[in-house]
Chain A
């Protein structure tokens, strides 16, 4: 394979941030001799993709498999992509600077819905036909492992729980957690490559047997069960961490301390699709943090998970890490704050004097609506948390809300302003008179996007016109001067909803939008609604209807064949509870509510929180 570096380097003088493309970062793995080569590509620029845990995890795992080598690839920014196209240079892997077409397998992360057009851009820049059927054209049944020209294109990631919109572009899609799945996939692929005359169909059939693997070309009749990594608590992965040169969005050592969240917020896809909750033992975490800092030289370690402060030993972990990094200039961070006094105390433990701002997500303004979405926090919780934060030295906080949640009324919208104003008063009361002017509260409001696999999966999105009216309501609701209000572009949320909840028919829309120039749609400055409107018109798709129409309970959903492990009955029941405003308790701290994930014979139906023996709080 040709090493493209000399030709790529020739372009760097004209590219923004050349460090995105230089590779050779500390602890990256290079030019390993291998008979099987995989490249893991992330459909965004280096600083976003290299911050993604999945890429690092898969890279680490496959590089450790005997006879295998893994490399990484990221999408170049638009300026570099244009230069590459001008010179006829294809997308390249970082380590070997090889064209992606030279690998046995191309793994592509599907991080979120808006990455869809970037995935097309990635395939296109790599020089691959976009659609799996064009690559695997085997009508005559003649394609075998000797004549196949393209890498096996595998997708997977958080947005794959409805794989249909992107299904035609992938040969196989991994549903769920990939730590073990990737090893099985590689083993089967290698075995097939080594079989003389192996037919393509044989490969796909054998891959379809792996739990969690969906083969889109076999259609959506076959049910696919989400893969869960059972060994999460036993081992800390990735074992090594790459130290980037280019500043990434999460430029620190990340340690995944827990997987899954059982709080049960009804809008939250991750909360439903990463169950059950699994914790890594505190000793393992502390040791990994110390060792990780020593071998990478990072000055910050982040304890990541969906809700890190819910780890049953979080306080102990934070105190020990505080102690071992004292005086070294190394800090510890938590990605999110739990909305109560304990959350603030934990944030206080790691923040030191760097009290720049706290972020809370009450999501809804009224207690009624918070009950509907099962966000089990009360106004008092929030006010107490704010008070505690201000007493602890914070002066700024950010509150996240959603608009257009199922059953939302005008009163609920106005209640967002009331809650924010109450938070401001609580903050003012908690600080000395002379400090009051420093208090700033910023509200960040986004339109609710219904996600597959959640109790709200049947619900449509609020139509754009109604969104505008409700935004108007909130604007006029009389926010205190110190409170700023920011909107997440509703048109972006609409496109997100279309891509999240439609079937295979929107694959055409994705390709058309890409042709219209839509790439890096998740970047505010790059999103252009017009491109999507034109594309939708071309494909005969009504964006408004695709986003806003409800699904009937009795009609098949486009993602019906994907089993997340949460039972249909549970989702229906949760939807019913939502309509009645009834809350469901968190199974980590109360009884099992029988969502279906842990209902195995040997657990007797009760396995609330998976931790190793001796780690449980008494």
Chain B
């Protein structure tokens, strides 16, 4: 508050609120939310330290992650400059383009690790399902803000379609993890829009009833994952291996952990996928309960700030977008850590902002850009 708190400074380039050129308003001029930015920096910083250990001190790999993160932060800042009105304007087209790209993947996508997820546009290779992580909640919010809340059943049917089409296309790639995350993001927006409790119960009942059908539709490896979740010890060297080893990693970490770079489970390769989906195992092993709690708390800070922003938002659209994206971010963390600690089945979901990998990071940071934009583009009426 000291270096910029000169209340008597006369000038103001933008010509708005000359009498309060505070620290806060400088941030606001660049449409950055300092609280959210700090929380993100803490989380990604911890993530890099964990990744450095998880990759056995591979500096090149960490450097790549840093470059991606830098890029993602730039994307976030750029997105934050865009007014929510523009999102409202663009989102129907982005959504339609996203669905078309998903269909394109189905027809002509690249196959990686046995699933058709990637689209190669010559200059860039990406997963269209990532676009949908943003497009679904925003498009839903756009759709719902036009109608009065709570939505009617007719509108809910439309919402169901908006969710089901991209989720279905992603699920048949097959990419169960992302499909679940997409459905989850959609569901969060619907929940916040105030759909009736009765409907929520009915939907859960329907989901339970659909489980056998889902089982029938699943690929063998997906079925195996569910079976493994139910009883990992049944096949300790086969499918249950991931879960057992990650539980050993976390459990052997104890309260304070084995120390940075001292984890035997990851460094001796007992913990599979320890730089990507199972990176929380490395955190649990090396930093223990304390480190794990701090990491999860960093997530909670981000989620909390996002929800606070949604509370402060001025219209239904921005409220639903900020709230939906924040909740979806929480669930992607919860599903990943739940899977690594063995309370949820293994689905291929990375730990957001911590796991090694690029595509989801840009999308995530873009969503924080949107949230920042919502907060910093508020009209000063009330």
Are A and B subunits of one complex?
Answer: no
Q: Interface of A with B (CB < 8 Å)?
A: none
Q: Interface of B with A (CB < 8 Å)?
A: none
